[in-house]
Structure 1
Amino acid sequence: MLSPILPATGRLLISEPFLNDPNFKRSVILLAEHTTEASIGFVLNQRSNLQLNDLIPELENADFPIYVGGPVANDTIHFIHRAYDKMNDGEEIAPGIYWGGNFETLKVLIEGNLLSPSEVKFFIGYSGWAEAQLMEEISQNTWLVSDRYDTDVLFTGNEEEVWRDVIVNLGPKYAHVVNFPQNPNLN
């Protein structure tokens, strides 16, 4: 899969269909930061067995799912949101999509049931690439880069369909890829 679009903050990385790395198999990653020195992103469709209240017990009713953002720094919590009107904080990484913000404000909003999983998504760890590493992987056809997506896909609870939906959204040139088996040896 050749990618004519270059990576940039707010764009998606879509793994090629036969990537066997368990961290990135059929994954979709939102790039939260992309510079010439490094890239940081979060796997959108790798849900863990944890809820936010498992990680932060004082948020008893915070049954927000936790996603594995990637294999780096799995002892950290990150979040993206589309609730700037409530948070008044965060770094805009795509139109209407924000990375991080004041965690104390976030906790107050969660405790008051003023945020829903359709507005905020939590990750443990992140995906990271050193200088030129991501571009090398793209040149090896590991990733397809997309700037065409509905922001609802970032917050969907149906992680099984995220990879498929993002591929189909790229148009007929790529839509056939969703039918490739995960293991070509089983074909």
Structure 2
Amino acid sequence: MSFFANQMLVALPALRDPNFARTVALICQHDADGAMGVVINRPSEYTFGDLLDQMNILLRDERLRDHRVLAGGPVHPERGFVLHDGEGGWDSSLAISESLHVTTSRDVLEAMAAGDGPEHATVALGCAGWGKGQLERELTQHSWLTVPSDAQLIFETPLDARWQAAAGRIGVDMMHVASHSGRA
């Protein structure tokens, strides 16, 4: 069985689910029991400063105050997920690859607020989840493209350009993809 951790899912135009239409999701974990990922191109209504204020964490690095927090998916929307490079030794981290991790513990946010966090990081509220076999079914139903993970896209590409840029990594121009699929 092929697993898709450290791959990005790019929603095809035929995917009409409002939670995932025109999204890019980084798959953080995938095994026989299902998959978990974080949507990396949908802004939430919160900034990093808003999030830290709600958590009573003092923001010392003011450059981060207005950074947009992402809407990472419909599962656990009250929970924070930090995608970041480097290891850092945070309390609750999962290695997605040798250089990419997801951390869900408060200590990484405190370090970021103090200016001591990872060099590159993206904060999201919520995640996306797929039950056993669900992601595989969605792939056979032409809901998603799979694309290798790309740190530049995750951390540097503007949010509104990520959907097209992710598809472009494998030579697909989403403006030329039909919004329906069929079988011959």
Say yes or no: TM over 0.5. yes
Q: Structure 1: give runs of 5+ residues left out of the alignment.
A: 1-5
Matched pairs, number: 171
1:46-102 CA distance string (max 9 Å, x none): 011201232231234452321011111111111110032xx2243220231011165
- Could you say which residue in structure 2 is the equivalent of 1:16? 12
Which AA in structure 2 matches 1:59?
L
> Aligned-pair distance for 1:11?
0.8
How many Å separate the matches in 2 of 1:127 and 1:76?
A: 12
Is residue 2:79 matched to residue 1:76? Answer: yes
Match of 1:176 in 2: 173
Work out which of the residue numbers 98, 109, 115 in structure 2 matches 1:95.
98
- Aligned CA RMSD, in angstroms, stands at 2.4
Q: Does 1:112 align with 2:108?
A: no
Which residue does 1:134 correspond to in 2? 135
Task: Report if aligned partners of 1:12, 1:145 keep a CA contact under 8 Å in 2.
Answer: yes
User: Structure 2 vs 1, CA of residues 102 and 23 (structure 1 numbering), >3 Å: closer, same or farther?
Assistant: closer
> What TM-score do you get using the length of structure 2 for normalisation?
0.81
1:49 aligns with 2:45: yes
The whole-number CA distance in structure 2 between the counterparts of 1:156 and 1:24 is: 21
Identify unmatched segments of 5+ residues in structure 2: none
- The answer on whether the counterparts of 1:91 and 1:98 sit within 8 Å (CA) in structure 2 is yes
Aligned-partner SS, 1:34: strand
Q: 1:10 to 1:48 in 2, by over 3 A?
A: same
Secondary structure of the equivalent of 1:21? coil
1:7 touches 1:145 (CA, 8 Å); kept in 2? no
